[in-house]
Structure 1
Amino acid sequence: MAVLAAIAVLAVLIVVHELGHFMAARLQGIYANRFSVGFGPILWKYQGSQTEYAVRALPLGGFVGFPDEDPDSDIPLDDPNLLSNRPILDRAIVISAGVIANLIFAYFLLVVQSGIVGIPDFVEKPGVLISSVAPQSSLVAENAGIKADDVILSVNSQDLPLGQDGLIYLQQKIQNSPNKSLSLKVQREETILDINLTPGLAPDGKGIIGVALQLNGEIIRKPAGNLMATLNSAAQEYQRITVLIVQGFGKLISNFQETANQVSGPIAIIDIGSKIASSDPFSLFQFAALISINLAIINILPLPALDGGQLAFLLIEGISGKPLPTVIQQNIMQTGLFLLLGLGIFLILRDTVNLLPASW
């Protein structure tokens, strides 16, 4: 059920994006003859009076098709309701409507969460949590008796500061102490333990003990008390998520070699969503909002096969007074679509392999 919930979240966000394009066209009287979720072979379709609705095999997005692109269409090429015959502003509205729909829907999700469930707030507790023990990187912690979910309270009789400062302090203390004994005060449930260990020497010359560390604390939720508080809380969370996403894209561009392997495809997104659905279903609202904003930002990038690429064509047309030749536009878009599908398939395969048991 958790996996189905995660798949449903991704599918809904794709539908919202494509509905933005579709409704923007329909409300302006522009013909739209195809509405598809996914790419590739058709798994299911329904033929409406004007539009074919379809679900396709590759869950890498979706598209709205227009008769302008259909060689079998019997609509005259000079029909004013064809997208290509509309003014630049009308076409720009249709192209950008998917991004706008995702951004609006993300805020709506956060309003629902803020008003009904409450925006999660992390309350810091003393110490740093051992989220997992990683003997494959070093046996020091395992041999010393440290276990997952232990909380390190102090190092060499020095209490750790609260929050991120404590996490950074502990990391630096370990990294700066290869082959030097450290005395730890560790909390395991209700028991306080004194553990001595000596960090090993990692290949980079830093100390290592073989654990994953994270902030210690708990997530609490408190629904907003009234409508204005709900809208304000949702707006603050919306801003926070958007800033984090933009910063993430900035790091991806500036440190591509180091961060490229962190890019997730649909399989990894579904895996993350299913884990959230299993452990904290109410956080799916926030997760969906994050993915929705991500989709909007990715789609507005001026790259072929994305909405931003089509807007770039319109910008060129507006500046030069005439569109790029159709053949050039088609070649650019087809190349972009091929690369996008190739990247999507690569991410699906990579994420699937990463999810397989290590012994497979």
Structure 2
Amino acid sequence: MNVLQGIAAALTPLGLLWTVLIIGVATFLHELAHYALARRQGVAVHSFSVGMGPVLLRRQWRGTEWRLSLLPIGGYVEIDGMAPEEDGQGGYRQPTRGFAALPAWGKVAILLAGPLTNLLLAIALMTVTFTAQGVPAPDRARIEEVVAGSTAQTLGLRTGDVITAIDGQDIPDTTRVGGREVAGWEGVRDVLTRPGPHTFTVVSGGQTRHVRFDWTPTVNGERQLLGIRYGPDVQATTAPAAFVRAWQVTGEAVPQVLRSFGELFARFLTLNLSRDENVSGPIGTAEIVSRAATVSPWALVQVAILLNLSLAFFNLLPIPGLDGGRILLVLVGSLRGRPLTFSQEQAINLAGFAFVMMLMLFVVVRDVSRFF
């Protein structure tokens, strides 16, 4: 019961609703892209489901059965020629029509459409965010709040001050904190773990001043707080510049995302259930969304950006059962001059599907284990 109470306390009804909506929209557009590219090439789509599991509602339209399913997670499209067909003797064989009859580039286009749509949606949301709120500056930390009666207030730090240098050194674009690479402005926290004299170079109202103070991280075993809440400074930008910056941020995110997936696979293979801040399961995701819902609509947009990027990159991994794995099989068949045999493809896809299911189960178990 304590575990259930812990999970319930971490989530909110509004957060759960937003989680379903954000994941639902991302999944719907992903599957809609597969559907559109298949129909564009004359391939029939037998069914399109929003959600998984038992079908609640169904309607036939334009040769496709549109379904609303019970579980509000994921979705699927049933494209003609992707699944094995009955051979008339109680067995199955490789399909020869629809998707299977397309040239390699046509198959890749259908498979690539889903992840690419999520990627473009993330870039579009980033462009809107940067245009409306400005582009985050990784080398400048803006003070968003000063706690009343804190050391920061005594030092004269004020909301809106921008920290541009620490101890006479300009804040770099990136730094390492806790063994991981982060934006330079996050290094302010690392400085406050080191005792001794420090200097913040602060810009406020176009004026620059130096704030000097002696710092003791702990007193009688208790951690001391400077008393500020801060984040990256932002710089106003135009929509075209925001669009370019969105592509740059996406490119910069690729190594970090791949590293996170690599760490997840390593933890899975060693059954390491310790918490990983870079990868969250369904409960962790809903918890993040619940917190974001209490902050601002823009915080929810940030979560939507991260979820769409994660969905795009994960589906492009060359794991059988995912879009990336299917693309790999298509390319292998193209290089061989003939597709893999039915038994070969079935064995590979079954192994890939089993791996993905076990990986998902591991993430869920790790999510729940932190409440014990």
TM-score normalised to the size of structure 1?
Answer: 0.69
Taking a change above 3 Å as real, the CA distance of residues 43 and 231 of structure 1, as seen in their structure-2 partners, is: farther
Report the counterpart of residue 236 of structure 1 in structure 2: 245
**2:54 paired with 1:46:** no
CA offset digits 1:98-149 (Å, max 9, x no partner) = 112112222222233344x32463652479999xxxxxxxxxxxxxxx99x9
Residue 320 of structure 2 aligns to a residue in which SS?
A: coil
CA–CA separation in structure 2 for the residues paired with 1:162 and 1:268: 36
Taking a change above 3 Å as real, the CA distance of residues 87 and 275 of structure 1, as seen in their structure-2 partners, is: same
CA offset digits 1:181-233 (Å, max 9, x no partner) = x6899xxxxxx998856579xxxxxxx96579999535676775xxxx21321
Contact 2:217 2:224 in 1 (8 A): no
Aligned residues: 313
Residue 276 of structure 1 aligns to a residue in which SS?
A: helix
**2:339 paired with 1:323:** yes
Report the counterpart of residue 138 of structure 1 in structure 2: none
Taking a change above 3 Å as real, the CA distance of residues 90 and 196 of structure 1, as seen in their structure-2 partners, is: closer
Taking a change above 3 Å as real, the CA distance of residues 287 and 66 of structure 1, as seen in their structure-2 partners, is: same
- Tell me by how many angstroms 1:8 deviates: 0.7
**Structure 1 portions without partners, runs of 5+:** 131-145, 186-191, 201-207
- Tell me by how many angstroms 1:312 deviates: 0.8
Report the counterpart of residue 181 of structure 2 in structure 1: none
AA at the equivalent of 1:48: Q
Report the counterpart of residue 120 of structure 2 in structure 1: 104
Taking a change above 3 Å as real, the CA distance of residues 45 and 166 of structure 1, as seen in their structure-2 partners, is: closer
Taking a change above 3 Å as real, the CA distance of residues 346 and 33 of structure 1, as seen in their structure-2 partners, is: same
AA at the equivalent of 2:29: V
Report the counterpart of residue 118 of structure 1 in structure 2: 133
**2:28 paired with 1:11:** no
AA at the equivalent of 1:35: F
Report the counterpart of residue 136 of structure 1 in structure 2: none
CA-based RMSD = 4.5
- Tell me by how many angstroms 1:13 deviates: 0.6
AA at the equivalent of 2:136: D
Taking a change above 3 Å as real, the CA distance of residues 251 and 220 of structure 1, as seen in their structure-2 partners, is: closer
- Tell me by how many angstroms 1:43 deviates: 4.6
TM-score normalised to the size of structure 2?
Answer: 0.67
**2:253 paired with 1:247:** no
CA offset digits 1:151-209 (Å, max 9, x no partner) = 999xxxx969675678658747747x7xxxx6899xxxxxx998856579xxxxxxx96
The within-5 A match list for 1:346-357 is 346-354=362-370, 356=371
CA–CA separation in structure 1 for the residues paired with 2:154 and 2:70: 45
Taking a change above 3 Å as real, the CA distance of residues 52 and 349 of structure 1, as seen in their structure-2 partners, is: farther
CA–CA separation in structure 2 for the residues paired with 1:99 and 1:250: 19
Q: Give the share of equivalent positions with the same residue, in percent.
A: 23
Taking a change above 3 Å as real, the CA distance of residues 276 and 235 of structure 1, as seen in their structure-2 partners, is: farther
CA–CA separation in structure 1 for the residues paired with 2:309 and 2:111: 17
Report the counterpart of residue 139 of structure 1 in structure 2: none
- Tell me by how many angstroms 1:73 deviates: 12
Report which stretch shifted further, 92-101 or 61-70. Answer: 61-70
1:293 corresponds to which of 302, 309, 329: 309
CA offset digits 1:240-268 (Å, max 9, x no partner) = 14412432323653794599834212332
Contact 1:241 1:290 in 2 (8 A): no
- Tell me by how many angstroms 1:287 deviates: 2.6
- Tell me by how many angstroms 1:57 deviates: 5.2
Contact 2:31 2:77 in 1 (8 A): yes
Contact 1:151 1:216 in 2 (8 A): no
Report the counterpart of residue 140 of structure 1 in structure 2: none
Report the counterpart of residue 137 of structure 1 in structure 2: none
Contact 1:60 1:266 in 2 (8 A): no
Residue 89 of structure 1 aligns to a residue in which SS?
A: helix
**2:104 paired with 1:88:** yes
Taking a change above 3 Å as real, the CA distance of residues 126 and 106 of structure 1, as seen in their structure-2 partners, is: closer
Contact 2:118 2:312 in 1 (8 A): yes
- Tell me by how many angstroms 1:276 deviates: 1.5
Taking a change above 3 Å as real, the CA distance of residues 221 and 198 of structure 1, as seen in their structure-2 partners, is: closer
Taking a change above 3 Å as real, the CA distance of residues 2 and 199 of structure 1, as seen in their structure-2 partners, is: same
Report the counterpart of residue 7 of structure 2 in structure 1: none
CA offset digits 1:46-72 (Å, max 9, x no partner) = 131422333445566332212332747
1:303 corresponds to which of 315, 319, 322: 319
CA–CA separation in structure 2 for the residues paired with 1:212 and 1:7: 37
- Tell me by how many angstroms 1:294 deviates: 1.8
Taking a change above 3 Å as real, the CA distance of residues 321 and 220 of structure 1, as seen in their structure-2 partners, is: same
AA at the equivalent of 2:252: V
**Structure 2 portions without partners, runs of 5+:** 1-13, 158-165, 176-183, 200-211
AA at the equivalent of 2:54: I
CA offset digits 1:68-97 (Å, max 9, x no partner) = 3274799xx999861111222211111111
The within-5 A match list for 1:104-253 is 104-115=120-131, 117-119=132-134, 121=136, 124-125=141-142, 168=187, 171=190, 174=193, 216-218=229-231, 224=237, 229-250=238-259, 252-253=261-262
Contact 1:160 1:169 in 2 (8 A): no
Contact 1:45 1:52 in 2 (8 A): no
CA–CA separation in structure 1 for the residues paired with 2:351 and 2:336: 24
